Every structure is written in C-alpha cells, then in structure tokens.
C-alpha cells in the first residue's frame, strides 16, 4: 500500500513539475486570456446593475414611507384638533401644511333619525373624516390617505 502511494506521489509531482515547462515550450505565458477577462467583466457589470437596482428600489420605498408618515402626522393632528379647537359642527374644512393638502369632513351620526331638540340635550356622535393628499416626488404620483373616527359631543 505504501509503495502505491509513493508511486502516485512521484507521478503527481513529475506531472506538476512538467506543466510550467510544457506551457513555456508551447509559447504560452501565464495570465488570463481575453475571453476570461471579458467573462469576468460581464459578471462584474451584471452584479453592479443588480446591486444598483436593489438600492434604487430601497430608496423609493424610504421616500414613499416618509411621505406617508408626514401625511399620517397631519391627519392625526387634524383629527385630534376636531372638537377641541372649536365645537363639533357638521361641515367641511380644508387647508394645507407643508406639501400636504387636507380636508376635514364632519357629519352627525344618525342625523336623519335624531331631532334637533334631542341633539341639544343629549350627547351626539359625529363622524370625523380627514383626507390628506400629497404628490410623491419619487414616483411622481398623487397619493392620498384617509382617517375616520367617531367623536362624541356633549351638550352645552
């Protein structure tokens, strides 16, 4: 068994030591061929394009979430202010903050079944809807967000 491994070892070392001599004898030099260089360049460019696309998609997602977060902040502020800054009353208000346009719509719950005299003596429910719209600069699309809640107004 030992003789076989010695023979294989000697054969392998003779073959490996003859390679540089054979390459020089054939006129070849060490290095990459043009084809290998072109294939490596193609692989590099494909990886670069793929990474650039992934980063671009991520950037668009960050920008969209920032727009939605700003719109949500405006909508929550308008909902919180409804009935606090002024008494709840049916109607619409609109305005703008930064790059966001908002519309606040207040409607009485069960307005058709509730009489005016009852509304003045009992608590009344009001549906408060805030819609905030803005233009997304990255996708260049108009976006909108809507929040709706039910608020209770106590009689005075």
Model pLDDT for residues 105-128, shown as the tens digit of each residue? 999 987 666 555 555 667 888 999
Mean pLDDT of 119-140: 85
Total structural domains in the chain? Answer: 1
Residue 109 pLDDT:
86
Residue 140 is assigned to a structural domain of this protein: yes
Residue 12 is assigned to a structural domain of this protein: no
Residue 111 is assigned to a structural domain of this protein: yes
Which residues span the domain enclosing 43? 33-153
Residue 1 is assigned to a structural domain of this protein: no
Residue 93 is assigned to a structural domain of this protein: yes
Q: Quick check: 128 and 82 in contact, CB under 8 A?
A: yes
User: What mean pLDDT is reported for the chain?
Assistant: 82
Residue 132 is assigned to a structural domain of this protein: yes
Residue 28 is assigned to a structural domain of this protein: no
Residue 25 is assigned to a structural domain of this protein: no
4, containing H or E segment: helix 2-25
- Tell me the C-alpha distance between 70 and 81, whole Å: 17
Q: Is the pTM of this model over 0.75?
A: no
Collapsed DSSP state (helix, strand, coil) of residue 17: helix
Which pLDDT band, with edges at 50, 70 and 90, does 64 fall under? confident
């Amino acid at each position: 068994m030992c003789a076989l491994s010695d023979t294989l070892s000697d054969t392998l070392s003779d073959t490996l030591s003859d390679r540089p001599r054979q390459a020089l004898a054939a006129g070849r030099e060490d290095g990459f061929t043009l084809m290998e260089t072109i294939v490596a360049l193609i692989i590099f460019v494909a990886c670069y394009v793929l990474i650039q696309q992934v980063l671009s998609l991520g950037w668009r997602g960050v920008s969209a979430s920032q727009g939605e977060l700003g719109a949500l902040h405006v909508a929550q502020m308008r909902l919180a202010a409804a009935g606090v800054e002024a008494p709840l009353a049916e109607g619409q208000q609109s305005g703008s903050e930064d790059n966001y346009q908002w519309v606040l719509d207040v409607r009485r719950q069960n307005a058709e079944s509730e009489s005016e005299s009852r509304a003045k003596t009992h608590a009344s429910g009001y549906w408060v809807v805030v819609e905030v719209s803005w233009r997304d600069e990255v996708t260049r699309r108009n976006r909108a967000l809507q929040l709706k809640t039910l608020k209770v107004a106590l009689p005075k």
